[in-house]
Amino acid sequence: MSKFQFPESIKSRPVYGTLEPRPGKAHLFVADAEGAEAILDLAAASPDLMAGAHIIYIPKGTDFTEKLRDLNPAQFYEGPTYAASVQRLRHVLENAHQGLQVYLTGTEGLMGQAQNEAMQAGIPHTAIQTEHRGSVARRMQCVHCKGITEDVITDPFVCAHCGLNLFVRDHYSRRLAAYQGVCIDAEDPGNVPEPVELYK
Amino acid sequence: MSAAPQKAKPGGQQIPVVVSAVVPLNDLVTRFEFQCRDGGAFPPFSGGAHTVVEMKDGDLTRLNPYSLMSDPADSSTYAISVRREDGGRGGSLFMHQRVKQGDEMMISYPVNLFSLDLRAKKHIFFAGGIGITPFMAMIAQLERSNGNWELHYACRTESLGTYVDVLSYKYPNKVHIYYDDQNQAIPLEDLLDGQPLGTNAYVCGPKGMIDWVHAAASAAGWPDAQVHSEEFLKPEPGREFEVRLCKSGKTITVGENESLLEAIERAGVEAPFLCRGGACGQCETDVVKADGEFVHRDHWLDDDQHASGEKIMPCVSRFLGTLELDR
Sequence-distant (≥ 6) Cβ neighbours of residue B45 within 8 angstroms:
B68, B72, B78, B110, B112, B137
CA distances in angstroms from B84 to B26, B96, B153, B178, listed in the order given: 10, 7, 19, 22
- What distances in angstroms separate CA A77 from CA A70, B57, B315, one per listed residue? 13, 70, 56
**Rounded CA gap, A52 and A96, in Å?**
13
Which domains are seen in chain B, by residue range?
14-111 (2.40.30.10), 122-230 (3.40.50.80), 241-325 (3.10.20.30)
Burial category of A111 from C-beta neighbours within 10 Å (exposed 0-12, middle 13-18, buried 19 and up): buried
The pLDDT value given to residue B233: 78
Name the average pLDDT for chain B.
Answer: 93
Question: Which residues numbered 101-130 in A keep a CB inside 8 Å of some CB on B?
Answer: 101, 121-124, 126-127
- CA distances from residue B282 to B10, B91, B111 in whole angstroms, order as listed: 9, 21, 12
pLDDT at B6 over 60: no
Q: How many CB pairs under 8 A join A and B?
A: 58
In this complex, the residue of A24, A96, A126 whose CB is nearest that of residue B225 is A126
pLDDT at B275: 86
CATH number of A27-132: 3.40.50.80
Q: Which of A59, A54, A64 lies closest to A81 in space, CA to CA?
A: A59
Give burial (CB, 10 Å; 0-12/13-18/19+) of B235. Answer: buried
CB pair distance less than 8 Å for B196 and A122: yes
CB B210 within 8 A of CB B183: no
Q: What is the C-alpha to C-alpha distance for residues B199 and B189, in angstroms, rounded to an integer?
A: 15
ipTM of the complex: 0.90
Q: What's the pLDDT score for residue A44?
A: 97
> For residue A1, is pLDDT > 90?
no
Contact between A114 and A81 under an 8 Å Cβ cutoff? The reply is no
List CB contacts (< 8 A) between B220 and chain A: 23-25, 98-99
Domain extent listing, chain A: 27-132, 138-197
Q: What is the mean pLDDT of residues A40-56?
A: 96
Q: Is B146 exposed, middle or buried (0-12, 13-18, 19+ CB in 10 A)?
A: exposed
Cis status of the peptide bond prior to B16, with omega within 30 of 0: no
- Residue B279: pLDDT over 80: yes
The Cα of B217 is separated from the nearest Cα of chain A by a number of Å equal to 8
* Burial group, residue B145, by CB count within 10 angstroms (0-12, 13-18, 19+): exposed
Tell me: pLDDT of B4 over 60.
Answer: no
Position B1 scores a pLDDT of: 42
Mean pLDDT of B289-296: 92
Give the tens place of pLDDT for each residue, B74-131.
999 999 999 999 988 889 999 999 999 999 999 999 999 999 999 999 999 999 999 9
Whether residue B326 is predicted with pLDDT greater than 70 in this model: the reply is yes
From residue B18, how far is each of B15, B24, B104, B106, B300 by CA, in Å? 10, 18, 4, 8, 33
B223 vs A93, A121, A126: nearest CB: A126
- Average pLDDT over every residue of B192-217: 96
Could you list the beta-strand ranges (E) of chain A.
Answer: 27-32, 53-58, 75-78, 101-106, 129-132, 138-142, 148-152, 154-155, 157-158, 165-173, 178-183, 196-197
Mean pLDDT of A110-114: 98
Residues 22-81 of A with CB under 8 A from B: 22-25
Task: Decide if B220 and A93 are in contact by the 8 Å CB cutoff.
Answer: no
Average pLDDT over residues B164-191: 97
Within 8 A of B193 by CB-CB distance, chain A residues are 25, 97, 99
Q: What is the rounded CA–CA span in Å between residue B91 and residue B104?
A: 16
C-alpha to C-alpha distance for B317 and B105, rounded to whole angstroms: 28
- Per residue in A135-189, pLDDT tens? 999 999 999 999 999 999 999 999 999 999 999 999 999 999 999 999 999 999 9
Please tell me the predicted confidence (pLDDT) of residue A53: 97
B223/A24 Cβ within 8 A: no
The pLDDT-based confidence of B8 (bands split at 50, 70, 90) is low
- pLDDT confidence tier of residue A133, bands split at 50, 70 and 90: very high
**Least confident segment among A41-50, A57-66, B67-76, B226-235:** B226-235
pLDDT digits (tens, 9 = 90+) for A65-109: 999 999 999 999 999 999 999 999 999 999 999 999 999 999 999
Q: Select the more confidently predicted residue: B258 or A59.
A: A59
Interface check B124 vs A, CB under 8 A: no
Question: What percentage of chain B exceeds 90 in pLDDT?
Answer: 84
Confidence class for position B280, pLDDT limits 50, 70, 90: confident
Alpha helices in chain A (DSSP H): 35-45, 65-69, 82-94, 108-120
**CA distance linking residue B60 with residue B65, whole number of Å:** 16
CA distance A79 to A76: 10
